[in-house]
Amino acid sequence: AQSVTQLDSQVPVFEEAPVELRCNYSSSVSVYLFWYVQYPNQGLQLLLKYLSGSTLVKGINGFEAEFNKSQTSFHLRKPSVHISDTAEYFCAVIRAGNMLTFGGGTRLMVKP
Amino acid sequence: KAGVTQTPRYLIKTRGQQVTLSCSPISGHRSVSWYQQTPGQGLQFLFEYFSETQRNKGNFPGRFSGRQFSNSRSEMNVSTLELGDSALYLCASSFGTPAYEQYFGPGTRLTVT
């Protein structure tokens, strides 16, 4: 069975500082990996996805993630965060069909 | 293109009642999935429908059911509501399988009192 672990439940960071949100997955088969963002009182928005190919994936809003098969990780990074990046971020993998398995989420809190 | 819409956005029900939530996917999308989001359990998969057939089901009791219509719109029903059913219910649509991109609606916030 696949599972996803987000190592930090909350990450406080100052505006314009870099940030890394950590995600580890467990799977014995190839996976498709995703990062979603959820702003207050909204649904989920896809930030980026890894399907195959280059291990460095670029997404929207200046975010990027690196797939590391040997460490079974898919960490999300941004070199300089803005107040508007304050949100909850979810790492996810695809299981059977279109069933997404999500990590517990990381609340990113950007402080001025 | 219009996004995924969910109605109603907010709902308050009493224990023991039943509720029906609706989801209209993006035009042309044939797969609709439902997720429950709670502070304690996080995001959990409920079920997925593709071309009116349920393809996958999560680990939820039989009180949770759903269906999909020929126009791909989907409904989910929860019978005999319990306090623990209070949650944000999210619907996601995608074109095919596997769903490289799933588009989520804003959710329906269900409060059971």
* Interface contact B56-A51, CB threshold 8 A: no
Tokens of B68: 């999909």
Q: What is the pLDDT of residue A97?
A: 73
Tokens of A83: 């107040």
CA distance A43 to chain B (A): 4
Residue B10 CB burial class (10 angstroms; 0-12, 13-18, ≥19): exposed
Q: What pLDDT, in 10s, does the model give residues B53-104?
A: 999 899 999 999 999 999 999 999 999 999 999 999 999 999 877 777 899 9
Q: What is the pLDDT of residue B39?
A: 92
CA distance B14 to chain A (A): 23
* Interface contact B56-A96, CB threshold 8 A: yes
Neighbours of A5 (CB within 10 A): 14
* Interface contact A42-B106, CB threshold 8 A: yes
Strand partners, A48: A35
Query: Would you list which residues of chain A are within 8 Å, Cβ to Cβ, of chain B?
Result: 32, 36, 41-46, 49, 51, 90, 94, 96-105
pLDDT band per the 50, 70, 90 thresholds, residue A28: low
Q: What pLDDT, in 10s, does the model give residues A29-72?
A: 667 899 999 998 889 999 999 988 888 999 999 999 999 989 99
